[in-house]
Amino acid sequence: MNLLTKTSLLITTVALTVLMAGGVIFFISTKEMINKQVDQELISEMHFVIRSFDNLVHGRDTVYYEDLTIIPTDEEITPAARFRDTIRLNVFDTKYQTYRMLVFGFRKGENRYKIELYKSLIDSNALIERVTLVWFGLSLFLIVAIYFLNKLIFKSTWKDFFEILKLAESYDVKTPHKKVSLKESEISEFSSLNAVITQLLERVERDFNNQKELTANTSHELQTPLSIIRMKAELLLQTPGITSEQAGLISDILATTDRLSRLNKSLLTISKIENNQFRETEKINLPEKIRSLVGQFNDLIDDKGISISMNLEDTTIVIHPLLGDLLLVNLLGNAILHNHDENGRIVIELKNNILTIANTGGNKELDKERIFKRYYRQSKNPDSSGIGLSIVKKICAYYDIGLAYRFENKMHSFKLDLTLVCTNGSRK
């Protein structure tokens, strides 16, 4: 539920309660006022009757008018007026109607009379009804108006806040040259929020750029000493009179240096992917690319006696060429590296935008939760840096490629859903 709706509903609830309570008071007081008015009129008529008694009676004993009855009586009637509601037959339309009645006693000379004055309540009741209905209709109108007006006012007042929210939602620290600019607000709290958000985003951007620079510089700086170590080790290897044991040790140094160099380059690649530095894309014919890479790995494949079967549908994907290479090289490389030393198998299938690379090797399922994490190695193979699948995962995440691992029929299978990068697909 959004802020505007909740606030509007709460205010409407309060308005409902107040109007309802007010309505009860209004109804009771209106009824009382109107009834009092009727009573006042009856009292005025009573005074008139008393003043004009002789004219009204005209020497008769009993007098019946539509709204007046004078009856002689022997009972002792108190002169105090008494009010009562009653039902009487209306002689003109022969219908029973409600009346307000005033009864009082009157003494004229030796004679005592009971006088009843009547006032029809049809009009006053109808008035109360109509007034109540009008008030009710007005209340409903007010409640609805309050709800919508409140929403309108709130929307206008909180406009600056929603602009800040929109900016914060759309802000991407990786998008270059997008400056944070928030309008000055006339509401002090929003101005403060503006200032805080602006500072926060500037700090985030600064830290991000520093981090990016640090990663790039560190990686670059590491390459230089690694290259020197490599160079010196190679020179040492060529030194005449070197023993085989010494050569072995130097080879180990070279292998480790190479591994360190590859690791360094991989980390730099991951960092560049995270920093959105691979924005360009190209159309790549996937079957052609796969066949080409398999060709490059032919020596290794033949060395290990691995049989490859490929079933590739014609598919074109839109991806940065380097990342496309890395994706396939890492998966294919792993399929070869972690395969059996003899009679291994690799199956590559590309159908309906789904690429599956499956390989034999290791009879246990890999840990699905950890295989894509950096530096995790399930095998003891020293050539494995533990970072290949991490790169694969990063590339897949970058292009919204679905990535899944399964172990079935003694084969480790990696499935990529390339739907979103196939010809019309693009990174979100």
Partner 1 sequence: MKSNLFEIFILTHVITSSIFLLLAIFVLWRSITGWIKNLVFTPKDKLLDKVFLILLYFELILGIVMFFFIKRPDELSSISEATQNVSLRYWAIIHFSSMTFALFFCQIGWIFISHSKSSVSKFKYASLYYGMAIIITLTTLGIYVSGKFFGA
Report the interface residues with partner 1, using CB under 8 A: 1, 5-6, 9, 12-13, 16-17, 19-20, 23, 27, 85, 87, 93, 95-98, 121-122, 125-126, 128-129, 132-133, 136, 140, 143
CB of 150 to partner 1, least distance (A): 13
Q: Which long-range contacts (CB under 8 A, 24 or more apart) does 141-146 make?
A: 142/15, 142/19, 143/12, 143/15, 143/16, 143/19, 146/11, 146/12, 146/15
CA atoms in the 13 A half-sphere facing the CB of 174: 10
Closer Cβ to partner 1, 132 or 219, answer by number: 132
Give least dist CB 318 to partner 1, A: 40
Q: What share of the chain is helix, strand, coil (3-state, %, to 5)?
A: 55, 20, 25
Rounded Cα distance, 3 and 170, in Å: 20
Return the ∠ at Cα 25 (arms to 129 and 37), rounded to 5°: 55
* Contact of 384 with 338, CB cutoff 8 Å: yes
* Smallest gap from residue 65 Cβ to partner 1 (A): 20
- Kindly tell me which of 91 and 188 has the beta carbon lying closer to partner 1: 91
Least distance from C-beta 67 to partner 1, angstroms?
A: 16
Q: Which is nearer to partner 1, 8 or 353 (CB)?
A: 8
Identity of the residue, 128 or 322, whose beta carbon is nearer to partner 1 in the bound complex? 128
C-alpha–C-alpha distance, residues 262 and 383, integer Å: 10
Contacts of 423 (CB under 8 A, 6+ apart): 283, 316, 317, 318
User: For residues 138 and 228, which CB has a smaller minimum distance to partner 1 in the complex?
Assistant: 138
Q: Which residue, among 318, 330, 349, has the nearest Cα to 411 in the 3D structure?
A: 349
Whether residue 284 contacts residue 319, with contact meaning beta carbons closer than 8 Å, is answered with: yes
User: Cβ closer to partner 1: 122 or 397?
Assistant: 122
Cβ of residue 19: shortest distance to partner 1, in angstroms? 8
Measured from the CB of residue 140, what is the shortest distance to partner 1 in angstroms?
Answer: 7
**What pairing do the DSSP bridges indicate for beta strands 402-408 and 307-312?**
unpaired
Give the nearer residue to partner 1 in terms of CB position, either 1 or 375: 1
Query: Residue 114 CB, nearest distance to partner 1 (Å)?
Result: 21
- CA distance linking residue 198 with residue 177, whole number of Å: 15
